[in-house]
Amino acid sequence: MNLEHANTFHLILMIVICATIVLTIITAKRGRKLFIRRIPGLSAIDETVGRATEMGRPMLFSIGLGGIDIPTLQAMGVMSHVAKLAARYGNRLIVPVADAMMVAVCEEATREAWLEEGKPEAHRPEDIRFLSGEQFAFAAGMMGLVIREKVASTFLFGYFYAESLLLAEAGQESGAIQVAGTPATTQIPFFIVSCDYTIIGDEYYAASAYLTQEPTLLGSLVGQDISKAILLLMIVVGTILAFFYVEDKNPLIQLLTRAVGG
């Protein structure tokens, strides 16, 4: 299926989902209390920062291999939370970067974090380390960095490819506590086997809401839940219809695939 442009059904679906998310954000901003269940991996982040502080060794936060895109910006959001904690407790945070543009973004984000904690002079821009844009050169550099700097905690957030296991095993080697999360679902098994806490699936996108408890983000999270329920309902309806209609005759499949003007 070549989806170059949306059809009317896609447009309606998107409007419904987007409206749901925006509406829940608005209700949350108006002060409605929202419940979010405990997510163990995310609760571990603060604890992991604490351990590095106790040991007096630096932390390392990798934001993955992406450039300025959605998964990497989400990793950045988590990174600024950890950076603020690091600034508060007077800890070092090393950020290896694989994209030139993200060097600027990370520089900005960490400086802002130290500023918000009232310690702009303690910010170390040299801890934003551009390593390489090449996948495995980046992995080699980060492995060296993790082992040589004797980091106490590593955070692996962002989009990772095959190098995920290399990075996580370097942390194992240096005895760091590791928290990892990625939207690259096929890499999750490798984080599970070598990290102490793994954030699975869209827990990744729940991270900033969970950590900051900002009403806007919590509202968005509830909106995401409702949107997922809508998708789930569509699949259920489609499957029920599939009892009676052969594959392409299924009305829901036709709605999903019919091209505009064709």
Partner 1 sequence: MNHPDAWIIWIGAICTLAVYSILYRENPVFRFFEHVYIGLAAGYGIFTTVTQVLVPQWGIPLFKEGKWYWIFAMLIGLMFYFVYSKRQVWIARWAMALFIGTGAGLGIVGFVTEFVPQMKASIKPIWHAPWNLNSFSFNNLLLFFTLITVMSYFFFSIEHKRPVLKGSAKTGRWLLMIAFGAIFGNTVMARVSLFIDRMQFLLFEWLKFHQPY
Partner 2 sequence: MMQEKRKVFYIRRAIFLIMAIAVAIPLLVKISMPIIVSWPTRDLYEAVESLSKDKIVVISVNWGAGTQGETAPQTAALIYHLASKHKKFAIWGWATPQGPLLTQQIAEPIAQKFGLKYGVDWVNWGFKTGSDQMVRAWAKDIPGTMKEDFKHTPMTKLPFMKNVRDHKDIGLIVEITGSATVGTYIRYLYGIYGTPIAYACTGVMVPEAFPYLDAGQLVGMMRGLVGAAEYEELAGYKDGKAGKRMAAQSFAHMLIIALIIVGNVGYFIARRSKNAPAEGGQP
Partner 3 sequence: MLKHHWLLWIIIFAAVLGWALLLFLIGKLRSREKKLIIIVTTFLGGLFYVLEFFFPGKLHLFSWKTVNNPFTPFLEPLGQAFMVIGGFTLLLGVINLTMVHGGNIRKLKKGWYNSLAFFVAMFAMTFFGLWDAYGKPTTAFGKTAHEIYLSLFNGALVSLDATMFSLLAFYMATAAFRAFRLRSGEATVLVLAAFLVMMGQVPMGMWFTHGLPTEGSLSGFRTENIAMWLLGIISMSGLRAVNFGVGVGALAMSLRLWLYLERGAFFEQEF
* Residues contributing to the site for partner 1 (CB under 8 A): 1, 3, 6, 10, 13-14, 18, 34-37, 39, 67-70, 73, 101, 103-105, 107-108, 131-134, 137, 140-141, 143-144, 147-148, 186, 188-190, 192-193, 200-203, 206, 221-222, 224-225, 228-229, 231-232, 234-236, 238-239, 241-244, 246-247, 250, 252-253, 256-257
**Cα–Cα distance, 154 to 223 (Å, whole number):** 31
Query: Residue 197 touches which of partner 3, partner 1, partner 2, none (CB < 5 to 8 A by kind)?
Result: partner 2
Element (H, E) at 197: strand 197-199
Instruction: Select from 9, 39, 55, 130 the one that contacts partner 3 (CB under 8 A).
Output: 130
Tracing tokens 């699975």 back to the chain, one arrives at 200
Tell me if 181 sits within 8 A of 77, measured CB to CB: no
Residue 47 or 239 with smaller CB distance to partner 1: 239
Q: Which two tokens stand for residue 186?
A: 């096929």
Residue 56 or 189 with smaller CB distance to partner 3: 189
Q: Kindly compute the dihedral angle of the four CA atoms of residues 243, 244, 248, 251, in this order, to the nearest 10 degrees.
A: -100
Kindly provide the residue ranges of all beta strands, DSSP E only, lying in 65-193, ordered along the sequence.
93-97, 128-130, 153-159, 177-181
Which residues from 198-227 bind partner 2, rule CB under 8 A?
A: 198
Sequence-ordered list of residues with C-beta below 8 angstroms from that of 163, at least 6 positions apart, any chain: 65, 135, 136, 138, 139
Query: Residue 214 touches which of partner 3, partner 1, partner 2, none (CB < 5 to 8 A by kind)?
Result: partner 3
β-sheet bridge partners, residue 64: 159
Tell me if 158 sits within 8 A of 65, measured CB to CB: yes
Residue 177 or 206 with smaller CB distance to partner 3: 206
Q: Can residue 193 be called a binding residue for partner 2 (CB under 8 A)?
A: yes
Which residues from 57-96 bind partner 3, rule CB under 8 A?
A: 67, 70-71, 73-74, 76-77, 80-81, 83-84
Q: Which two tokens stand for residue 10?
A: 């896609």
Instruction: Select from 196, 202, 203, 225 the one that contacts partner 2 (CB under 8 A).
Output: 196
- Residue 186: CB atoms within 10 Å: 11
Instruction: Select from 180, 208, 210, 250 the one that contacts partner 3 (CB under 8 A).
Output: 208
Query: Residue 53 touches which of partner 2, partner 1, partner 3, none (CB < 5 to 8 A by kind)?
Result: none
